[in-house]
Amino acid sequence: MTAKPFYVTTAISYPNGAPHIGHAYEMIATDAIARWKRLEGREVYFLTGTDEHGIKMVQTAAREGIPVRELADRNAGEFRKLAAALNLSNDDFIRTTEQRHHEASQAIWKKMADSHNGDIFESTYKGWYSVRDEAYFDEDELTEKDGKRFAPSGAEVEWVEEPTYFFRLSAYTQKLLDLYEANPDFIAPKERRNEIISFVKGGLQDLSVSRTTFDWGIPVPGAEGHVMYVWVDALTNYITGVGYPDEQSELFKKFWPADLHVIGKDIIRFHTVYWPAFLMSAGLPVQHRVFAHGFLTVDGQKMSKSLGNVIDPFHLVETFGPDAIRYFFLREVSFGNDGDYSNEKLVNRVNADLANNLGNLAQRSLSMINKNCEAQVPVFGALTEADNAIIAEVTEALAAAQQAMDQQLVHEATGAIIAALSSANNYFAGQEPWALKKTDPARMATVLYITADTVRRLAIPMQAFVPASAARLLDQLMVPADQRSLADAAAVNALVPGTELPVPQGVFARLEKPAE
Ligand code: ME8
């Protein structure tokens, strides 16, 4: 199969603190998308990492009384550990302090400076800056309270005046509008697209892209005392990760432009306005799509250190295991909308869908096969209407899940699979194979076969969401490693009668809500 390669990224996180569940959520969702594409048979490159420069890092390190590099090293290590703990399938982990990234950032800078419009020019910036957002704001975007001014995020802004280089963003207003027009899928969800279009229609101002008041950044080539504005180097990570500035490298040729940048809703402007403008200026193709997910709250409240409700994702993994957490977020949060985490919701959701639904169906059917069919995949006879109906329903659910995943509607994909599993449980209960044992053992064998093959067909897509557990289920069905793709899930009755099966082991334990 020569399916198109697929390049997907998360945002790169600021390592000014340890990762929180918002970071974990973005990693999990992007991993599910990457794994799904691999199940489609596509060659996937999945990049995540850390965004280590900028004034926020400098200020946090100063508060902690440690060198900024030490802060970056310590927390970048935590983000890398989190990726492993969540069983991410990322192909690389980029840190913006790496040499390769300095080279890429200086190379794109030179391309922008040398572009036909001369997109980079020297001037003086005077205006408002929010350190928490690492972003500039116009006066009319701010709110005022007690003599202080605040960005839309709620972060306080400060007045900045310094000689800087500017990027001629104003020259890209029409080019960006043309890009959105020609590519209706460039920004998802749709409401976000409308917001960005009206923002750009309002006219774009040139953007200050260097800083002179600190030195924790990538030096601007040929301009002593200037480091790049952190977002210029941060966005560039997406091309560094595939080999830029070597545009002839295998990785770059195969994977750029990126198919999908997965980010949170607070950083859409950077990804759908600045980044495509930088790329156009540098003469590089623009990414295909940006999907902005929502924000997570905890027990209905915004996560904050002062509220003391910041949840440590490592603790969650230790308590519930990675697949439970992954499944919860992928099913419970409608992708693109905000979502809420609570222990109770997690336990309820995982018990209902994984333990009682999928786990129960697998365990009951496999135990019966083990006891009554000599622990071999049973031989099936003529199919009844009920058999054909459940087979057809699974086929439809797989198609619906595929359609949902084509638009990153992960919650709909998991929902379609779980609905088919519920029907399969009803089928199993309705056919009463335990009663058929005495009256019609051949029919019992057929019911058990159809159920086991249904588990196979639905466990295959579940590999994207709960990779370790789904793999264990497929192992119990003795499905060969090279027969676990979505094309194999589409195939009906692919289990081979007579195949010896191991003694079944429960894959999904019921979770208990931890004591507060
Ligand atoms: O923005 N719920 O880094 P970051 C869901 N370095 N997602 C959340 C979240 C929450 N409560 N809080 C943050 C940055 N995120 C930049 C990105 S990309 C070239 C540079 C998401 O550590 C956030 O929206 O503040 C972003 O996508 C990611 O986590 C990293 O956030």
**DSSP readout, 435-461?**
HHHHH-HHHHHHHHHHHHHHHHHHHHH
Pocket test for ligand 1, best of 95, 266, 274, 297 (most atoms within 8 A of CB): 266
Q: Rounded to the nearest whole angstrom, what is the distance from the C-alpha of residue 79 to the centroid of ligand 1? A: 12
The number of the ligand 1 atom at minimal distance from the alpha carbon of 16 is: 22
Give me the pLDDT at residue 237, please.
98
Selection from 387, 465, 485 nearest residue 430 by Cα: 387
> Looking at the structure, do residues 286 and 369 belong to the same domain, yes or no?
no
pLDDT digits (tens, 9 = 90+) for 121-172: 999 999 999 999 999 999 999 999 999 999 999 999 999 999 999 999 999 9
Q: Is 317 helix (H, G, I), strand (E, B) or coil?
A: helix
Distance between Cα 10 and ligand 1 center (Å): 9
Residue 338, pLDDT above cutoff 60: yes
CATH code of residue 269: 3.40.50.620
User: Is the CB of 267 inside a 6 Å radius of any atom of ligand 1?
Assistant: yes
Q: Which of 8, 14, 25, 26 to mutate to test the pocket of ligand 1 (most atoms within 8 A of CB)?
A: 26
Q: Is the CB of 266 under 6 A from ligand 1?
A: yes
pLDDT in tens, 352-382: 999 999 999 999 999 999 999 999 999 999 9
Contact 494, 484 (CB under 8 A): no
Please check whether residues 109 and 205 belong to one and the same domain: yes
Look at residues 333, 258, 317 and name the one whose alpha carbon lies nearest to residue 48.
Answer: 258
Q: Does one domain contain both 278 and 366?
A: no
Q: Which residues contact 345 (CB under 8 A, 6 or more apart)?
A: 328, 332
Asked if 371 and 451 sit in the same domain, the reply is yes
Residues 274 and 392 in one domain: no
Between the CA of 492 and the centroid of ligand 1 the distance, in Å, is 42
* Residue 244, both tokens: 């830029």
Tell me whether residue 320 is in a domain: no
Give the number of domains in the chain.
2
Ligand 1, atom 29, lies closest to the CA of: 23
User: Which carries the bigger pLDDT value, residue 299 or residue 503?
Assistant: 503
CA 23 / ligand 1 centre spacing (Å): 6
**pLDDT confidence of residue 2:** 58
The burial class, CB within 10 Å (0-12 / 13-18 / 19+), for 59 is: middle
Residue 434 belongs to a domain with what CATH number? Answer: 1.10.730.10
Whether 417 is covered by a domain: the verdict is yes
Of 293, 311, 332, the domain-final residue? 293
Domain boundary among 293, 308, 336: 293
Average pLDDT over residues 176-187: 98
For residues 314-332, average pLDDT: 97
Tens-place pLDDT, residues 413-467: 999 999 999 999 999 999 999 999 999 999 999 999 999 999 999 999 999 999 9
The stretch 473-485 carries a mean pLDDT of: 98
Domain assignment present for residue 509? The answer is no
- Does ligand 1 lie within 6 Å of residue 261's CB atom? no
CA 430–ligand 1 middle distance (angstroms)? 48
| Stretch 56-71: mean pLDDT | 97
Which residue is listed with tokens 């029919």?
Answer: 443
Ligand 1 proximity of 234 Cβ (cutoff 6 Å): yes
Share of the chain above pLDDT 90, in %: 96
Q: In this structure, are residues 386 and 431 in contact, taking their beta carbons and an 8 Å threshold? A: yes
* pLDDT above 90 for 349: yes
Pocket mutation for ligand 1, best pick of 8, 9, 23 (most atoms within 8 Å of C-beta)? 23
The residue among 248, 258, 227 whose CA lies nearest residue 105 is 227
- Burial string for 141-151 (b: 16+ CB within 10 Å, else e) reads ebeeeeeebbb
Q: Do 281 and 384 sit in the same domain of this protein?
A: no
Residue 89, both tokens: 């399938």
Q: How many CB atoms lie within 10 A of CB 286?
A: 18
Q: What are phi and psi of 81, to 5 degrees?
A: -65, -40
Given a contact cutoff of 8 angstroms between Cβ atoms, the answer to whether 288 and 188 are in contact is no
Using a 6 Å cutoff on CB, does residue 255 contact ligand 1? no
**What is the per-residue pLDDT for 516?**
65
Would the pTM of this model clear 0.90, i.e. be above it?
yes
Burial zone of 360 (CB within 10 Å; 0-12 exposed, 13-18 middle, 19+ buried): middle
- Judge if the beta carbon of residue 263 lies within 6 A of ligand 1: yes
Which atom of ligand 1 is closest in space to residue 266's alpha carbon?
Answer: 24
Query: Is residue 155 in a domain?
Result: no
For residues 213 and 289, membership in a common domain is answered with yes
Split at pLDDT 50, 70, 90, the class of 304 is: confident
* Identity of the residue numbered 466: V
What crossing angle do the helices spanning 313-320 and 322-332 adopt, rounded to 10°?
Answer: 110
The response to whether residue 23 sits with its C-beta less than 6 Å from ligand 1 reads: yes
Domain presence at residue 42: yes
Q: How many CA atoms within 13 Å lie on the side-chain side of 296?
A: 21
- The predicted model gives 232-252 an average pLDDT of 98
Has residue 316 been placed in a domain? no
Structure tokens at 160: 């900045």
Please check whether residue 332 lies inside any domain of the structure: no
Q: Which of 258, 275, 293 is the last residue of a domain?
A: 293
Based on the fold, state whether residues 276 and 409 are members of the same structural domain.
no
The owner of tokens 């207003």 is 173
CA 336 to chain CA centroid, nearest Å: 11
Confidence of residue 303 (pLDDT cuts 50, 70, 90): confident
Which residues, in sequence order, are CB contacts of 515 under 8 Å at separation 6+?
Answer: none
Are 90 and 211 contained in the same domain?
yes
Place of tokens 């335990």: 434
Q: In whole angstroms, how far apart are CA 365 and each of 71, 370, 467, 483, 499?
A: 52, 9, 21, 21, 15
Residue 137 and residue 161 in contact, taking contact as beta carbons nearer than 8 Å? no
Would you say the CB of residue 295 lies under 6 angstroms from ligand 1? yes
pLDDT averaged over the chain?
A: 96
Ligand 1 lined by 26 (C-beta under 6 Å)? yes
For the cut 90, the answer to whether the pLDDT of residue 306 exceeds it is no
Half-sphere exposure of 51 toward its Cβ, with a 13 Å CA cutoff? Answer: 22
125 assigned to some structural domain: no
Q: Which long-range contacts (CB under 8 A, 24 or more apart) does 388-397 make?
A: 389/427, 390/423, 390/424, 390/427, 390/450, 390/454, 391/450, 391/454, 391/492, 391/493, 393/420, 393/423, 394/420, 394/424, 394/454, 394/457, 394/458, 395/490, 395/492, 396/420, 397/458
Protein residue whose Cα sits closest to atom 16 of ligand 1? 13
Q: Is the pLDDT of residue 1 over 80?
A: no
Same domain, 388 and 245: no
Are 396 and 495 found together in one domain?
Answer: yes
Per the structure, the complete domain to which residue 493 belongs is given by: 352-500
